[in-house]
Amino acid sequence: MQLTARQKVAFGIGAIGKDMVYALSANYVMYYYKDVIGLSGAFVGLILMIARVFDALNDPFMGILVAKTKTRWGRFRPWLVSGTVLNAFVMYLLYAAPDTEGVPLMAFFAVVYILWGMTYTMMDIPYWSMIPAITTTPADTENLSVIGRTCAGVGSAFIQMGTVLTVAALGHGNERLGFKYVALIVAVIFVIAEIICAISVKERDNGEMQTATVKEMFQALFRNDQALVVVLAIVLVNSALYLTANLIIYFFKYDVGGGADWQGGYTLFSTVGGAFQILGMMVGYPLLRRKLSNVKIFTGTLCTAMLGYAIILVMCLAGVSSSLPLLLVPCAIVFASNGILTVLTTVFLSNSVDYGELKTGRREESVIFSMQTFVVKLASGVSVFIAGIGLDLIGLKGDSDSNAPVVAQSEQTLMGLRLLMTIMPFLVLLCALLFFRSKFRLTDEVVEENAKKLQQKR
Looking at the predicted structure, is the pLDDT value of residue 71 above 80?
Answer: no
Contact 425, 335 (CB under 8 A): no
CB distance 302 to 231 below 8 Å = no
Strand, coil or helix: 274: helix
Give the residue numbers spanning the domain of 68: 7-202+213-457
Mean pLDDT confidence for 200-224: 65
Position 208 in a domain: no
Q: What are phi and psi of 71, to 5 degrees?
A: -135, 170
The residues pairing with 71 across neighbouring beta strands, listed in sequence order, are 74
Asked if the structure places residue 217 within a domain, the reply is yes
Residue range 113-117: mean pLDDT, rounded = 91
| 2 domain residue, yes or no | no
Per-residue pLDDT for 259 more than 60?
Answer: no
C-beta separation of 159 from 23 below 8 A: yes
The mean pLDDT of 175-194, rounded to a whole number, is: 95
Q: Mean of the pLDDT values across residues 184-192? A: 96
List of long-range contacts for 392-398, beta carbons under 8 Å, 24+ apart = 392/40, 392/41, 392/42, 394/420, 396/41, 396/250, 396/254, 398/34, 398/35, 398/38
Q: How confident is the model at residue 228 (pLDDT cuts 50, 70, 90)?
A: confident
Helix (H) or strand (E) holding 352: helix 324-360
pLDDT computed for residue 266 by the predictor: 87
CA dist list (Å): 265 to 36, 270, 271, 386 = 19, 9, 10, 25
Helices assigned H by DSSP within 3-137? 5-31, 41-68, 77-94, 103-134
- Residue 74's beta-bridge partner residues? 71
**How many Cβ atoms from other residues are within 10 Å of residue 61's Cβ?**
13
Give, for 433, the enclosing helix (H) or strand (E): helix 411-439
pLDDT value at residue 206: 53
Residue 114 has pLDDT above 80, yes or no: yes
For residue 435, what pLDDT band results from cuts at 50, 70 and 90? very high
pLDDT at 373: 63
Q: What is the pLDDT of residue 54?
A: 79
Mean pLDDT of 336-355: 87
Q: What SS3 state is found at 271? A: helix
- Pick 9 or 362 by higher pLDDT: 9
Number of neighbouring beta carbons within 10 Å of residue 89 = 15
For the cut 60, the answer to whether the pLDDT of residue 401 exceeds it is: no
Quick one: pLDDT at residue 370? 63
Is residue 204 predicted with pLDDT exceeding 80?
no
* Total count of residues recorded for the chain: 458
Q: Give residue 375's pLDDT.
A: 73
Q: What pLDDT is stored for residue 56 in this prediction?
A: 64
Averaged over 268-287, what is the pLDDT?
89
Cβ–Cβ < 8 Å for 309, 419: no
DSSP 236-247: HHHHHHHHHHHH
**Could you tell me the pLDDT band of residue 72, with boundaries at 50, 70 and 90?**
confident
DSSP 286-350: HHHHHHS-HHHHHHHHHHHHHHHHHHHHHHHHHT-TT-HHHHHHHHHHHHHHHHHHHHHHHHHHH
Q: What average pLDDT does range 155-176 have in this prediction?
A: 88
235, part of any domain? yes
CATH code at position 306: 1.20.1250.20
Encode burial over 77-88: b for 16+ CB neighbours within 10 A, e otherwise: bbbbbebbbbbb
pLDDT-derived band at 431, boundaries 50, 70, 90: very high
Q: Which residues contact 455 (CB under 8 A, 6 or more apart)?
A: none
Q: What is the mean pLDDT of residues 27-42?
A: 88
pLDDT attached to residue 296 = 95
Average pLDDT of 178-184?
96
What's the mean per-residue pLDDT of the chain? Answer: 84
CA distance 310 to 299: 17
Is residue 314 domain-resident? Answer: yes
Which is more confidently placed, 371 or 174? 174
Please indicate, yes or no, if residue 207 is contained in any of the structural domains: no
Domain tally for the chain? 1
Task: Quote the pLDDT of residue 217.
Answer: 59
| Residues in Cβ contact with 339 at an 8 Å cutoff, skipping those fewer than 6 apart | 150, 153, 276, 277, 278, 279, 280, 281, 284, 285
Domain for residue 145, yes or no? yes
CA-to-CA distance for 450 and 355, rounded, in angstroms? 7
- Tell me which of 143-157, 194-208, 231-245, 299-313 is least confident: 194-208
- The kind and range of the H/E element at 147 are helix 138-171
Q: Please give the C-alpha separations between residue 94 and each of 41, 46, 52, 105, 118, in angstroms, as whole numbers.
A: 16, 16, 16, 11, 13
